[in-house]
Amino acid sequence: MSTPASDQLLGQTIDGRYRIDSRLARGGMATVYRAADLRLDRPVAVKVLHAHLAEGRGFIDRFRREARAAARLVHPGIVAVHDQGTWGEAPYLVMELVDGPNLRTVMLSHGLPAVGQALDFMAEALSALAAAHNAGLIHRDIKPENILISSTGQVKVADFGLARAVSEVTAASSGIVLGTVAYLSPELVAEGQADQRADVYAAGVVLFELLTGTQPFIGDQPIQVAFQHVHAAFPAPSSRVPWLPQEIDSLVGALTAKDPARRPPDATAALALVKAVRAALPEDVASRAALVGLDQPADSELDDAAVPVPASPEVPAPGSKPRSESNPEPGSEPGPRAPLDRGLGQSSPRLPGLGPTGLSDPGMSAPGPSQGSPQGSPRPPDPETATRGPLGASAGPDSPGSPTTTKAPTAGPSRSRGGGIGQGNPGADQTEMVPTSGHGTGGTTAMPLARILPPAPLSPPPPPTHPRRPRRRLIIWLLVVLALAVAGVGTAYWYFGFGPGSLIAVPNLAGETRQVAEDRLRGLELGSDFELRDSDDVAEGLVIESDPPPSERVKAGTVVNLVVSAGIRMVTIPAEGVVGVDVGLAEAALTEARLDGPVTRELVYDTTVAEGLVLSVEPEGGQSVPHNQAIKLVVSKGPEPIEAPKLTGLTLADAQAAGAEWELTVIQDGEAYSETVAEGLIISQTPNEAEGTYRGRQVTVVVSLGMPFVEVPALRFKTWEQAVAALDAVGLKADQTGVPILGIVQRSDPEAGTSVRKGSTVTVVLV
């Protein structure tokens, strides 16, 4: 079967289960449809790989890896993956359908969120990423399009299509870097290698965009944006929105540090940093949003493309033109960065570790100088003052509400002037302002791995007109060194005494005994407490989990609550209310006793217990068993139906012996004369042998008294022939004796009127 086109899938049913109803979106790798799960009667999202990618084994493996990675993650903030398969030649995923927009749609339809809400969005997204990082997975494609907002306000991270085990993350075997260029970390672009800190970097870019409405780096081609991520200084948010406080600059700078070692190590640490900044943010700042014009990125549906990364640092911008510094952009307003309380009526308290100079933690760097000069600056900034703003942000950002722009590298003369990207070069007249729509940076891109070389060093500054004396220069250098030393000592004191360096990572204690776990926490200067919890999987006495969870960084002295296994929960089987009652009542009694294991019924015939009543329970009542122990109820089916045995013609004793084999009780229910059945034998039975009965029932019989009695008729003075006829009429036989001279009966023996058994012989005496 050939791969179905996207339009041809509408109305079809995939694998007899998922009916495609409508198309939701088309991305660089796949098309997402709204579908109905006919088996479970629920709406789902079905993601089908594009036909032109299904032919490549590498893309198919990546697509299937998405399912395996995402299916391992269980978190309310992660879009769940339900199923995967292949339709024709195209692999597909079946995912949870989130009834809400993504962050990109929210920004375009409602404008930028308030600062506090932006931090809240990012905190929820980082919480979901933390679950993935703790499971050993990274996302590698964090962007507004992959952060969804459900109708209930739940933030959900989608599309783990680039995720893989951290130990397997490398592009050396494939030579391909996959991701959305606008959010790729420098190490992923330059080396093709990344860990959890690449997701932290992308989250910082998304936060920058939520706060300012623009991406930090833009260009006409993805390669230009990738180059800037590697070599250009990351701009401070306040360079685009002047009233943003220094704490926000420091936070974004920490998340987007060029050196991965200077970023938070994973999403858990980044989440703690975002929460700390959010808690310290004044309400008037938290409730304020930047008013800027937003454009839909031009490549929101850009297909995957192979983009060559050159070995040369010169990356020309197609169609770029030199801009004369004497012709600034209209409406620009140069000026220094606005302080926090500008127009707000109050100033923001400083968060420890996020001071005017940014994060002092060596693992969380502040951003460097923002690239280029302010929009419409009438003259190039002085090289020595271009980075004087807090966190190295250059002065003179765009005015709020105006279309934000940034500079892209140009070809030709700018290179000779030392105009490297993001260097703060005073040669501003050799760069061009590029619109913020982010052309070529919004879609997933496949980029051949190639190291992006650093730009050539800046041209040496011209020699001073009046050379300074060596002694004076030496004094200045000594003062600089002394100042740096004092700053370094102060920074180290703050970092290890009060800042992030004073925090302790909670160890993973799952599976340890309580004593070992408490000893480990004590060695880390952490307190401990514990609670017992039943567990079917963890042996008694071992730690199940801890709160705070592993890897969360806490202050010394923090009490870590240990959840210790009490073993499997034991329950006593009820001794009463189970045996001898209806099976439904017995099962209810087991449930009430909190026995939740499987309950089976064994039906047996029983002659004494009515049908449907419980005969016995296994294990027996009164025993203590695990709560999930399998229970068997032996239930009566009543007496067994059998055919009645033939008892007629037997003596009563023989009939009782024959009935005992079938547990039948044989009793005599009267006697009767019988001309056919001998005395003492059974004449009849109830039920008879032609009828059915049940094992253990009663059978009644009638015993024969033998031949009935009759009276000898009067025969005197009768002839022989008359005597014979009279005896025969009552069932008697005649026997002749005497001398029959006259042929008349003189008398009979027995005499007339005597009772004799029918069939007896009467002797007739003739004369």
| This model's pTM is above 0.85 | no
Q: Examine residue 349 and say whether the peptide bond preceding it is cis (omega within 30 degrees of 0).
A: no
- CATH number for the domain whose boundaries are 570-636: 3.30.10.20
The helix (H) or strand (E) run that includes residue 645 is none
> DSSP letter string over 671-740?
EEE-SSS-TTBEEEEES-TTSEEETT-EEEEEEEEESPEEEPPP-TT-BHHHHHHHHHHTT-EEEEEE--
Q: What is the phi-psi region of residue 183: left when phi exceeds 0, alpha when psi lies from -120 to 50, beta otherwise?
A: alpha
Which residue, 100, 98, 96, is CA-closest to 83? Answer: 96
Give dist(CA 380, CA 411) in Å, integer: 19
Give dist(CA 333, CA 342) in Å, integer: 16
Residue 103 is encoded by which pair of tokens?
A: 């962050």
Give dist(CA 431, CA 356) in Å, integer: 30
pLDDT along the chain (767 residues), means of 10: 61 93 84 93 91 66 72 87 85 90 92 96 96 88 93 89 46 54 89 89 97 93 90 95 95 96 95 95 93 56 34 33 33 33 33 36 36 33 32 33 34 31 30 33 54 45 50 78 74 58 86 93 92 91 94 91 93 92 93 92 89 93 92 91 84 87 85 86 85 83 89 87 88 83 83 86 84
Q: Is 277 exposed, middle or buried (0-12, 13-18, 19+ CB in 10 A)?
A: buried
Order of strands across the sheet that contains 665-673: 665-673, 698-706, 682-686
Give dist(CA 422, CA 219) in Å, integer: 13
Q: Cα–chain-centroid distance for residue 723?
A: 111
The predicted structure's pLDDT at residue 358: 35
Q: Is 186 exposed, middle or buried (0-12, 13-18, 19+ CB in 10 A)?
A: buried
CATH architecture of 709-766: 2-Layer Sandwich (3.30)
Residue 677 is encoded by which pair of tokens?
A: 């059945």
Q: Contact at 8 Å (CB) between 103 and 147?
A: yes
Which residue, 334, 336, 408, is CA-closest to 378? Answer: 334
Residue 201 is encoded by which pair of tokens?
A: 């970097």
Q: Which residues are paired to 532 by β-bridges?
A: 564
The predicted structure's pLDDT at residue 205: 97
Give dist(CA 692, CA 695) in Å, integer: 10
- Kindly give the pairing relationship between strand 559-565 and strand 527-533: parallel
Give dist(CA 694, CA 687) in Å, integer: 11
Q: Contact at 8 Å (CB) between 265 and 196?
A: yes
Q: Contact at 8 Å (CB) between 543 and 564?
A: yes
From residue 173, alpha-carbon distances to 165, 177, 448, 625 in Å are 15, 11, 11, 55
Name residue, tokens 């970390």: 185
- CATH number for the domain whose boundaries are 7-96: 3.30.200.20
- Contacts of 319 by beta carbon, 8 Å cutoff, 6+ apart: 220
First to last CA, the chain: 123
The predicted structure's pLDDT at residue 572: 93
The predicted structure's pLDDT at residue 423: 30
What's the fold here for domain 501-565? Trypsin Inhibitor V; Chain A (3.30.10)
Q: Which residues are paired to 706 by β-bridges?
A: 673
Q: Cα–chain-centroid distance for residue 553?
A: 25
Q: Contact at 8 Å (CB) between 524 and 507?
A: yes
Enter the DSSP assignment of 681. Answer: B
Return the domain boundaries, the chain.
7-96, 501-565, 570-636, 641-706, 709-766
Same fold: 641-706 with 709-766: yes
- Contacts of 251 by beta carbon, 8 Å cutoff, 6+ apart: 207, 273, 274, 277, 354
The predicted structure's pLDDT at residue 363: 35
Which residue, 353, 372, 355, is CA-closest to 363? Answer: 353
Q: Contact at 8 Å (CB) between 667 and 700?
A: yes
Give dist(CA 406, CA 439) in Å, integer: 13
Give dist(CA 466, CA 406) in Å, integer: 36
Active site residue 21: no
- Per-residue HEC secondary structure of 326-361 comes to CCCCCCCCCCCCCCCCCCCCCCCCCECCEECCECCC
- Contacts of 57 by beta carbon, 8 Å cutoff, 6+ apart: none
> DSSP letter string over 47-99?
EEE-HHHHT-HHHHHHHHHHHHHHHT---TTB--EEEEEEETTEEEEEEE---
The predicted structure's pLDDT at residue 261: 94
From residue 488, alpha-carbon distances to 476, 491, 495, 643 in Å are 18, 5, 10, 104
Give dist(CA 189, CA 447) in Å, integer: 8
From residue 697, alpha-carbon distances to 114, 602, 667 in Å are 86, 23, 11
Give dist(CA 192, CA 189) in Å, integer: 6
Catalytic residue, candidates 83, 120, 141, 220: 141
Q: Which residues are paired to 632 by β-bridges?
A: 600, 618
Residue 332 is encoded by which pair of tokens?
A: 């620009």
- CATH number for the domain whose boundaries are 641-706: 3.30.10.20
- Three-state secondary-structure class, residue 194: coil
Within a 13 Å sphere around the CA of 488, how many CA atoms are in the beta-carbon half? 6
Q: Contact at 8 Å (CB) between 366 and 253?
A: yes
Residue 203 is encoded by which pair of tokens?
A: 């989250």
> DSSP letter string over 561-620?
EEEEE--SPEEEPPSSSSTTSBHHHHHHHHHHTT--S-EEEEEE--SSS-TTBEEEEESP
Q: Centre a 10 Å sphere on the Cβ of residue 683 and count the other Cβ atoms it contains.
A: 18
Which residue, 705, 708, 704, 724, is CA-closest to 766? Answer: 724
Give dist(CA 544, CA 123) in Å, integer: 26
- Contacts of 227 by beta carbon, 8 Å cutoff, 6+ apart: 219, 313, 315, 409, 421, 452
Tell me the residue type at 535: S
Which residue, 217, 258, 252, 495, is CA-closest to 391? Answer: 252
Helices (H), 213-346: 222-231, 246-255, 267-280, 283-286
